[in-house]
Structure 1
């Protein structure tokens, strides 16, 4: 059974909280090698998911460039879900079978699309970053996922 805590500020493991600066968010471990979060879309959720992902990776011994890459990709996928998705956003980060997998879901049936942003565009590079930093990625519409090869030393394979 997962344990979680409740708080009215925005720490990484707060559950079922809602304030003007921090949307209702549920973050819970799901076993020793995974965590998941669900939240209402709000820009402040991006930083919370970066912090939660970094804390999880640190707890399981993943650090350095690999951890930074995973945190960056979580940030981009969550931002994409908030800006282009619908409804509640869910994030899952899991380590299994030599890989770190990241899954972000929302209720928009349209898949995430890799596009070429122009030099003056202020957005549109998120999926290009996901493609560049992860080993593989995909989108079925409601779910966009990626995977990083992982070795037990905490670095990219």
Structure 2
């Protein structure tokens, strides 16, 4: 686990380990309110930020969906305002959501009739890799990474 929020995602430690690697160049970083409106604000800002990057529309939709799930988890389970960061390279997009709660997310069994609890399932299924890193004294960052040519997009 890493203690440096500037390089989240390096350790790849989580309930479902991801591959370590450079997350790319910062595209945007912003604080969201600890409020039910935070996921919508994140979706709008991410979609606008990715619009001029050349990423396929389908990939942008997946990024926005998964980021919305991470923000929702941070609002519901976290203990303070979430911070969303997006980084890109020519080959990938990386999104991390930091919150002050150091408890790591879990992919849980969900009853088919349940109305919630599927966010981390979506992240685990659609992301190339994902993870969560504790930031000592400052909570955690939960992140995912998608390749530009994502298998989830390519079919």
Offset at residue 33 of structure 1 (A): 5.5
1:108 matched residue in structure 2: 101
2:21 matched residue in structure 1: none
Q: Which fold has the larger relative contact order, with Cα–Cα distance below 8 Å and residues 6 or more apart in sequence?
A: 2
Q: Which has the larger radius of gyration?
A: 1
Structure 1 stretches of at least 4 aligned residues deviating more than 4 Å after TM superposition: none
Offset at residue 140 of structure 1 (A): 2.2
TM-score by length of 1: 0.72
Identify the match of residue 149 of structure 1 among 142, 147, 151. 147
**Deviation readout 1:99-150 (Å, 9 max, x if unpaired):** 1000000000100111121112111100000111110001124110000012
Calculate the aligned-residue CA RMSD, in Å.
Answer: 1.7
> Secondary structure in 2 aligned to 1:102?
strand
Residues 26 and 85 of structure 2 are in contact (CA less than 8 Å); yes or no, is this contact kept in structure 1?
no
2:34 matched residue in structure 1: 41
**Structure with the higher fraction of residues in strand conformation:** 1
Q: Gaps spanning 5+ residues in structure 1: where?
A: 1-31
Offset at residue 97 of structure 1 (A): 5.5
Q: Gaps spanning 5+ residues in structure 2: where?
A: 1-24, 135-139
Offset at residue 96 of structure 1 (A): 2.0
Cα distance in 1 for partners of 2:107, 2:133 equals 13
